[in-house]
């Protein structure tokens, strides 16, 4: 439960979402990620720490550099949590729409 | 394609917002929620009572072939403004979901389209998450089937 809470907190922040988008296309070093933002480097580092902590990013040592990778599997867990609930409501609303359209055509 | 139904559920909070845009004029959308027979049709439950007024109440019920109540839910209407707003409580019998407060806001978009915004407030954040997780396997909509499957047990219980 706590883990999931952390994941949601992680993606609630717009900068962190932007970081995820960046890293999703290719693994990057902290410096390369930070160069995409006006935000101070320590702030970006903090965001990276949070994203790593909740497993949305993973670190990989490559020589002297540490690269951040995007964990698509974890991201999918987040989307999967709400999606069935949303789908259920969508089905119900579709049903209402279908029923009421009969009245509309009358 | 953009999704017609959207769910906004901030983590750690005890509420959520469901929004949906309908290809229906506002009056028809509102009628879907206030006409007893129409509610029965989309809820696939019997509407035992539906009093569309402040202080009124409503009761839904579904029975199996043997007449056992397999789904029962109801609540009290606190605010009723035609084609604009309904505020009501909702409680499902024999389900550990507690009482939830539902605020429905109906809005006209064009002559042929309208929007529903449902703000649902649960007793706790944990309870909200529990209800959302039901979506994994069945959801409230399909709770009927779940209860139907457990009809043997349900037969011994009475709705609150």
Domain covering A2-105 in this structure, CATH number: 1.10.10.10
| Full-model pTM | 0.65
Neighbouring residues of A32: CB distance < 8 A, sequence distance ≥ 6: none
More confident residue, A33 or B152: A33
Interior/surface letters A14-38, b for 16+ CB within 10 angstroms, e for the rest: eebeebbebbeeebbebeebbeeee
More confident residue, B41 or A104: B41
Q: What is the residue-level pLDDT of chain B in tens, covering all 160 positions?
A: 567 899 998 888 999 999 999 999 999 999 999 999 999 999 888 999 999 999 999 999 988 888 888 889 999 999 999 999 999 999 988 777 789 999 999 999 999 999 999 999 999 988 888 788 765 444 344 443 444 444 444 344 444 4
Chain A positions touching B140 (Cβ under 8 A) are: 88
Chain B positions touching A104 (Cβ under 8 A) are: 24-25, 28
pLDDT of residue B134: 66
> Is the Cβ of A82 closer than 8 Å to some Cβ of chain B?
yes
Which CA distances in Å does B76 have to A16, A93, B57, B71? 42, 22, 4, 18
Neighbouring residues of A56: CB distance < 8 A, sequence distance ≥ 6: A7, A10, A11, A20, A70, A71, A74, A75
Extract the tokens encoding A6.
Answer: 């952390």
pLDDT of residue A24: 82
A55 phi, psi to nearest 5 deg: 70, 15
pLDDT of residue B6: 92
| Domain ranges for chain A | 2-105
Question: Which residue, among B24, B29, B40, B37, has the nearest Cα to A105 in the 3D structure?
Answer: B24
Domains by residue range for chain B, with CATH: 5-150 (3.30.530.20)
> Is the Cβ of B22 closer than 8 Å to some Cβ of chain A?
yes
Cβ-defined contact of B10 to A90 (cutoff 8 Å): no
C-alpha B61/C-alpha A5 separation (Å) is 35
A41-45, A90-94, B138-142: lowest mean pLDDT where? B138-142
Q: What is the pLDDT of residues A55-78, one digit of tens each?
A: 889 999 999 999 999 888 887 776
Q: What percent of chain A has pLDDT over 90?
A: 42
Closest residue in B to A100 (Cα–Cα): B28
Identify the band that residue A29 occupies on the pLDDT scale cut at 50, 70 and 90: very high
More confident residue, A2 or B8: B8
Which CA distances in Å does A59 have to A13, A14, B31? 20, 21, 55
Question: Which residue, among B152, B140, B2, has the nearest Cα to B71 in the 3D structure?
Answer: B140
Q: Reply yes or no on whether the pLDDT at A2 is more than 90.
A: no
pLDDT of residue B1: 54
Q: Reply yes or no on whether the pLDDT at A54 is more than 80.
A: yes
> Is the Cβ of B116 closer than 8 Å to some Cβ of chain A?
yes
Chain B positions touching A95 (Cβ under 8 A) are: 42
C-alpha A58/C-alpha A71 separation (Å) is 7
């Amino acid at each position: 439960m706590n883990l999931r809470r952390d994941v949601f907190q992680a993606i609630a922040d717009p900068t962190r979402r932007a970081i995820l988008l960046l890293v999703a296309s290719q693994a990057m070093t902290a410096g390369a990620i930070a160069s995409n933002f006006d935000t101070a480097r320590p702030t970006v580092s903090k965001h990276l720490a949070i994203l790593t902590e909740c497993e949305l990013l993973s670190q990989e040592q490559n020589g002297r550099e540490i690269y951040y990778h995007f964990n698509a599997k974890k991201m999918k867990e987040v989307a999967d949590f709400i999606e069935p609930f949303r789908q259920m409501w969508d089905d119900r609303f579709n049903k209402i729409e279908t029923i009421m359209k009969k009245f509309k055509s009358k | 394609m953009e999704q017609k139904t959207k769910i906004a559920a901030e983590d750690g909070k005890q509420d959520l917002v469901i929004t949906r845009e309908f290809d229906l004029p506002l009056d028809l959308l509102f009628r879907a929620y206030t006409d007893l027979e129409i509610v029965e049709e989309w809820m696939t439950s019997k509407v035992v009572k539906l009093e569309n007024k402040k202080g009124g109440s409503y009761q839904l019920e579904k029975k199996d072939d043997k007449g056992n109540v397999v789904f029962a839910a109801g609540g009290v209407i606190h605010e009723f403004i035609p084609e604009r707003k309904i505020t009501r409580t909702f409680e499902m019998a024999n389900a550990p979901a507690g009482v939830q407060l539902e605020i429905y806001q109906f809005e006209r978009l064009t002559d042929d389209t309208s929007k529903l915004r449902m703000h649902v407030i649960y007793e706790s954040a944990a309870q909200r998450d529990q209800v959302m997780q039901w979506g994994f396997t069945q959801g409230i909509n399909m709770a009927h089937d779940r209860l139907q499957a457990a009809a043997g047990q349900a037969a011994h219980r009475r709705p609150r």
